[in-house]
Amino acid sequence: MKSFFTLSIVLASSFGAMAKDVSDSVIRVATTLQSYNPSQPWEKTSPRKRRALAAVLPNSQVLTTAEMVTDANFIQLESANGEHQIPARVVAVDYEANLALLTPNSDEGIKTLGKFNGLEIAPTAHLGDEVNIVQIEDNGMTLITEGRIQSADVVASFVPGHFFLNYEVKASMQSAANSFTVPVLKDDKLLGLLTSYSSKDQIVDIISPEIIKAFLKDARDGKYQGFPSLGIGTTRTTDIHFRDWLQLSSDKGGLYVTRVLPNSAAALAGIKTGDVLTAINGKPLDRRGYYHANGYGQLFWSHLIRGSQPIGSTIKLDLLRGGKPLEVSATLKRAPEGIIPSHTYDKAPRFLVKGGIVFQELTKSYLRAFGDDWVSRAPLNLLDAINHPEDYEKGRKRLVFISAVIPTPATLGYESLNSVIVEQINGQAIEDLPSLIAAFKKVPKNGIHTLKLDGQPETIYLDAKVSDTVDQSLLARGLPSLSRETE
């Protein structure tokens, strides 16, 4: 996946032709973002600002990427000429698909935005089609870079592990006015939103109109649900010895099912670990999980679920089980969040500080705070939980762990303890952060809290009276809160 960027344009079209003025169909978006501190979940990080150019839609709405509103505490729209500045709010956001729908906060703002020329969503494009990438300079001038659709692919543009259809556009872009993302038009209609740019390869990734249409249709009733998921983990069937073991003939493709999420669409349909998924709605899958999509060539199988079907629709799945063919129907639904959420944007992390020990719930967002190479830098036991959540699911809603220890009279000898999963408090199994808080509220008979851990040491002890005294001392020293039970 290409890195995200700050985009600007100084030249008009690389093909030399200027498109018509579209300044009344696009609008600047300025946001102030402030996320929670992964290591100190009781406080937020320093605010940061982000600017973009968004697409104005009919009905006084604005479409931008979800990245623009991630943990936003202020959103403002501004017309290209700077005449209008309109505070706005989020109507719907999908971080997995990287889309956000905005609207003005006030009736006056809605009236002002209603005077803009809202863009229609373009129909499905074809490989080789020419498109216009739009930018507004600081002086209000509309600049256009022309590009050509080179390919289509299913990629993760924001949240890792969540793949959606994107177009790859060949275009040469240069620097001028800052903008995090911009609209891409085809025949004066909105084709997509730019999500990344590779200056080396001169390739622009844009979210496809199929995904945008599905997002807007879902958001229409004000009760946004999101895109469905089948709820399986898979691996390729390219290895010849593996194929022999699976009893796959040479003319058969398919994906080996390595995991079925509890209470997922796949689980409810009766799919089992060890099955081989060979086709979806009659579309055969090859050994790598790709199928032939008319107009696009080969696409990854996930587009047949996420982007092609809404929640509640029923699909036909062809399987092989023990070498024998099997057909099942699955009713699509949102994927269960599981014990380790893939992201926690716009949610306050739950935590507890007890006697100086900091307890949190594990998320992928926490691990990504270790940096770009978090897969090698993050604690091994927490990475194991991410890679093998099935080993930790029994009896848990979330995975609670000790993230840090503040040196206090209650934590003597435990100062170096961190990244250890908590199994029990005073004999009570810990299923999530609220259950941890409840367990600590029960004063043990001997006055000592007993903590059973999944690691070394296996058991630690916390004096109840001393830890209570420390808690009050921490509050007096400026800690804003000892706990947060709700997200």
2: confidence class by pLDDT, cuts 50, 70, 90: very low
For the segment 379-394, the average pLDDT, to the nearest whole number, is 92
The CA distance from 246 to 250, in Å, is: 11
CA distances 379 to 359, 374, 375, 403, 420, Å, are: 16, 9, 9, 11, 9
pLDDT tens track for 437-474: 999 998 888 999 999 999 889 999 999 999 999 999 99
* Beta pairing partners, 33: 48, 72
What lies within 8 Å, CB to CB, of 360 at 6+ separation is 41, 349, 350, 351, 366, 400, 401, 403, 433
The CA distance from 387 to 382, in Å, is: 9
The CA distance from 315 to 335, in Å, is: 16
CA distances 284 to 164, 266, 288, 315, 331, Å, are: 19, 18, 11, 14, 19
227-242 as b/e, with b when 16 or more CB fall inside 10 Å? Answer: bbbbbbebeebeeeee
80: confidence class by pLDDT, cuts 50, 70, 90: confident
The CA distance from 397 to 215, in Å, is: 29
5: confidence class by pLDDT, cuts 50, 70, 90: very low
* Topology of the domain covering 351-484: N-terminal domain of MutM-like DNA repair proteins (3.20.190)
- 312, with CB counted inside 10 A (0-12, 13-18, 19+), is exposed
The CA distance from 230 to 234, in Å, is: 11
| Residue with the larger pLDDT of the pair 455 and 226 | 226
108-140 as b/e, with b when 16 or more CB fall inside 10 Å? Answer: ebbebbeebebbebbebbeeebebbbbbbeeee
Judged by average pLDDT, the poorest of 59-63, 98-102, 148-152, 178-182 is: 178-182
* CATH H superfamily, domain 232-331: PDZ domain (2.30.42.10)
Answer whether residue 344 shows pLDDT above 80: yes
Phi, psi values for residue 418, rounded to 5°: -165, 160
Residue 273 CA from chain centroid, whole number: 26
Answer whether residue 235 shows pLDDT above 90: yes
The owner of tokens 């993050």 is 378
Q: What pLDDT is recorded for position 140?
A: 81
Judged by average pLDDT, the poorest of 172-176, 291-295, 370-374 is: 172-176
For the segment 397-416, the average pLDDT, to the nearest whole number, is 95
DSSP letter, residue 472: H
The CA distance from 221 to 229, in Å, is: 21
Domain ranges for the chain: 26-219, 232-331, 351-484
Mean pLDDT of the chain: 91
Q: What pLDDT is recorded for position 270?
A: 97
For the segment 26-35, the average pLDDT, to the nearest whole number, is 96
Q: What pLDDT is recorded for position 11?
A: 34
Q: What pLDDT is recorded for position 174?
A: 65
Q: What pLDDT is recorded for position 3?
A: 39
20: confidence class by pLDDT, cuts 50, 70, 90: low
Answer whether residue 175 shows pLDDT above 80: no
Coil/strand/helix, residue 469: helix
The CA distance from 7 to 184, in Å, is: 13
Region of 98 please: left (phi>0), alpha (psi -120 to 50) or beta: left
Note the pTM of the prediction, 2 decimals.
0.89
| Residue with the larger pLDDT of the pair 11 and 301 | 301
For the segment 161-184, the average pLDDT, to the nearest whole number, is 85
For the segment 469-486, the average pLDDT, to the nearest whole number, is 95
Tokens describing residue 415: 């100062």
Count Cα atoms within 13 angstroms, Cβ side, for 374. Answer: 15
Work out the number of other CB atoms within 10 angstroms of the CB of residue 171.
24
Helices (H), 388-457: 433-441
Residue from 150, 132, 131 nearest 142 by CA: 132
Q: What pLDDT is recorded for position 21?
A: 75
Tokens describing residue 274: 């060890």
Q: What pLDDT is recorded for position 307?
A: 84
**Could you give the angle at the alpha carbon of 361 between the alpha carbons of 360 and 364, nearest 5°?**
120
For the segment 311-335, the average pLDDT, to the nearest whole number, is 95
For the segment 228-257, the average pLDDT, to the nearest whole number, is 94
Answer whether residue 6 shows pLDDT above 60: no
Match domain 26-219 to its CATH number in 3.40.50.2020, 3.10.105.10, 3.40.50.2300, 2.40.10.120: 2.40.10.120
Coil/strand/helix, residue 122: coil
Q: What pLDDT is recorded for position 12?
A: 36
176: confidence class by pLDDT, cuts 50, 70, 90: low
